[in-house]
Structures are given as structure tokens and as C-alpha cells.
Structure 1
């Protein structure tokens, strides 16, 4: 599992596969680059982390806290992305953040 890349993590987390094992691998990617990407768009890994089952986040507040920090950092820095990446990410991140905060 240590060889999983951003796309592998995005896919599995997006399907709620192995969250307890894979989220700890995904967070360092995002802490290095909030906009780590799989094959869709910059920030797609973060969006899937924010969409993880709410019950998992509630049962693991240390992961939830880290995800929330990453989410805020991504919003704060979104203007540093090129225009196309920012326009693609904004609605996806907003939707994921809404799911995260419910």
C-alpha cells in the first residue's frame, strides 16, 4: 500500500475502500501539496478526502481536523492556481466542503 499514488488513493477513497488504511497515506500528499491530483483535476484527491463518510470523520477527529485545515488552506491559496485549474476546482471543492460540513 505504501506505493499508492495520488490517483490510486483518489479512486479508493472515492469508493470508500480502505479508508482507515488509505487516509493516513493521502494526508501527507495533501500536506505537501493541497492540490495533489489524480487523473481528473488539481485538487481531486482533497475533494475525495472531504467526501469520506461522515461517520468515519466523526469517529476519527484527528483526521477530520487535518482535512479541515487542508480544506481551508486550499481555499486560501486557490488564487495561486492558473485560471483553468482554479475554475475547475472551485465548484468541486465547494461541493466537497459542503458534504464535509454536514
Structure 2
């Protein structure tokens, strides 16, 4: 577990601090929206300090943009429960993390 980021007691076996924005599909590395992973954990805005803090837990976090504005994408997941778990971990660091659904 990354220093400063503790696992919530409900699921201590999950290593939530990891890369969640890339996947290898054959010889192609996919970044951002991954197939079959519609739940994204985001932090609104593009604050460099917030991005640095998110990257302490999720090294491949990045800034992206949708119609509503820019946000830090912390990770994408197949299931909402895992996404909510990362959101809680980031909120414990005083980040405004939330889960959004990207159909």
C-alpha cells in the first residue's frame, strides 16, 4: 500500500493504489476509456497539486476533458464497487473524488 493511503477496512485485500487507466490489448496499449470498464473515478478540475496527490496512489492518473469541463481521471473499473472503493481512498486524502458512469 502506498504511504498515506490506507485500505478501507471493508476490503483490505484489494491493492487499490495501482495503475487503472491502461490496458494491453494484443500489441496495443489502450489509455483512458477501457473496454468493459464504464465506471470512472474522477476529481473535478485540473489542479497540479491534486494530480500529484492522486498519482501517489494511481501513477497513471491524468487530466482529461468532457463537456462539463476538465477532471483528473484516477481510474476506470468494470464494477462500481471497486470504483467507489478508490473514491473513498482519495476522499480520505481530502480530494473531491467521485464515480461517474461512462457508457
Considering the TM-score relative to the shorter chain, is it more than 0.5?
Answer: no
Structure number with the higher strand fraction is 2
Q: TM-score, normalised by structure 1?
A: 0.33
Higher relative contact order (CA 8 A, sep 6+): 2
TM-score, with normalisation over the residues of structure 2? 0.33
Q: Which structure has the highest helix share of the two?
A: 1
